[in-house]
Amino acid sequence: MLAGDLDSLRRQRIVFAVLDLSLLVILLLLHTSFAAFWGKPSAALTGLLGVCFAIRGGEILWLRGRVIQPRTSAWLTWASIAFDLLLASVLSSVVDHEDSQYFALLVVPILESAFRFTLAPTLAVVAAADAVAFYWVWRYFNAHPPLDIGEYFEAGTISIIFLIVGVLISVMMRNLRRKQAQLAWNVSELERTRARLLKEETLAAVGRISSAVAHEIRNPVAMIASSIATAQKLTGPEREEMFGIAAQEASRLVNLTSDLLAFARPRRPALVNDGLRDTLLNVAATCRAHAEANGIALRVAESGEVAARHDPGLVQQVLLNLVMNAVDASPPGGTVDLSLAASAAGEVRIDVQNAGGPIPPAVAERLFEPFFTTKPAGTGLGLATAHGAARAQGADLVLSDNSDQVRFTLIFPPARGRA
């Protein structure tokens, strides 16, 4: 049985104990209010009610925070049913009146049995409650003749009401249990379907990645093999040229392997609550030589220190990838702009913008997809790795503008405690 079901059994026991206590309080107040009819509550009645309050209160305290197994819950329910049947009879005897309000307690065990058990046990409890009601009428008029036959009709009416309540609640609970069982089966089936789909999607993803890796590796390996085979037949500068091609393709394989490892096994982020300005300036300084070599101006716009919870190494990895891509995508004489700012909502945003756009929609949709690239010598893992590095530290990387000015934005959520 699930932990949630066990907790439901415990809560159900507490609810019926509270119901019992509440009903006893109401009946005692009625007894006190109509003392002219039932008589003033005696010391014996008050003491007996005090014992009942102590027992039910102790039960509630014992049940709090405790895990109740189904077998234990069943025994407790039967004990509670027997207790209420006996209590109604004893309290009526102490009051010693032909119309005892304490017979209202008999409805509680009927409700308990209907909620907890099937129809047959419920009918047995209804029969026991009816027997208590008829026994009390017989016992009272044996002690206080003459017999008032109308009291038997009243007991019969109460018995019919008990029967209707027991049957109706039992049928309703049976339908509810059937629906719960159907719902549980549906949920279980959904979980199995979800697990199957996840497995199939995982296998499909592994297949796609394997195909992409094989494709990326096959071309350099083929070039290496072809260059070496050709070099064996040549001499002089042509031979050296073939070896140079092989070395270039081998270097490409090394880069592909490094990118693949970075994508497949991202390191665990070491988060700090610190400023981002120095990281931004370091990335700009690192990329400036590459930008100048391509005739691109690199500009940094930052308005003072802005702090966010981040991993400096991962942020640098993301920004290096974005800036290098922006430089490569910029037209000659273009500009790449880096900016750091905090929004009114508390988000911290780092923008990398260039004038190399717009990116075609079909390409923009797949920018962060592994092994997707439009570069002749690209691996298609740069943006995918950058996106994963951003997510690993609780940030996000998005294409925030795809007009003539293409802008990628690294977004850090508001710090805790900030609006």
Q: In the 3-class helix/strand/coil scheme, how is 338-374 assigned residue by residue?
A: EEEEECCCCCEEEEEEECCCCCCHHHHCCCCCCCCCC
Long-range contacts of 46-55 (CB under 8 A, 24+ apart): 48/90, 48/91, 48/94, 49/24, 49/91, 52/20, 52/24, 52/87, 53/21, 53/24, 55/83
Q: Report the alpha-carbon distance of residue 272 to residue 291 in Å, rounded.
A: 30
- Asked whether 132 and 106 are in contact (CB, 8 A), the reply is yes
Q: Report the alpha-carbon distance of residue 245 to residue 224 in Å, rounded.
A: 7
> Sorting pLDDT into bands at 50, 70 and 90, what band is 205?
low
- Predicted confidence (pLDDT) at residue 67 exceeds the cutoff of 50: yes
> Quick one: average pLDDT of 193-212?
72
Q: Report the alpha-carbon distance of residue 362 to residue 408 in Å, rounded.
A: 17
Q: What does pTM read for this prediction?
A: 0.49
Count helices and strands (H / E) in the chain.
12, 7
237-251, 338-352, 371-385, 403-417: range with highest mean pLDDT: 338-352
* pLDDT given for residue 197 in this prediction: 82
Write down the residue that tokens 């071309």 correspond to: 219
Looking at residue 413, the DSSP 8-state letter turns out to be P
> Sorting pLDDT into bands at 50, 70 and 90, what band is 3?
very low
In 3D space, the residue among 407, 321, 412, 317 whose CA is nearest the CA of residue 364 turns out to be 407
Q: Report the alpha-carbon distance of residue 232 to residue 106 in Å, rounded.
A: 103
Give me the domains of the chain, ranges plus CATH numbers. 3-147 (no CATH), 272-412 (3.30.565.10)
> Quick one: average pLDDT of 194-221?
70
- Asked whether 95 and 45 are in contact (CB, 8 A), the reply is yes
H-only helix segments in 232-331: 237-264, 277-293, 312-329
Percentage of the chain beyond pLDDT 90 is 21
How confident is the model over 217-231, as pLDDT tens digits? Answer: 776 787 788 888 888
- In this structure, the number of other CB atoms found within 10 A of the CB of residue 371 comes to 21
In 3D space, the residue among 35, 140, 129, 152 whose CA is nearest the CA of residue 92 turns out to be 140
Pairing verdict, β 307-310 and 297-302:
unpaired
How confident is the model over 138-196, as pLDDT tens digits? Answer: 888 888 888 888 888 888 998 999 999 999 999 998 998 889 889 888 888 888 888 88
- Predicted confidence (pLDDT) at residue 312 exceeds the cutoff of 80: yes
In 3D space, the residue among 287, 268, 258 whose CA is nearest the CA of residue 381 turns out to be 258
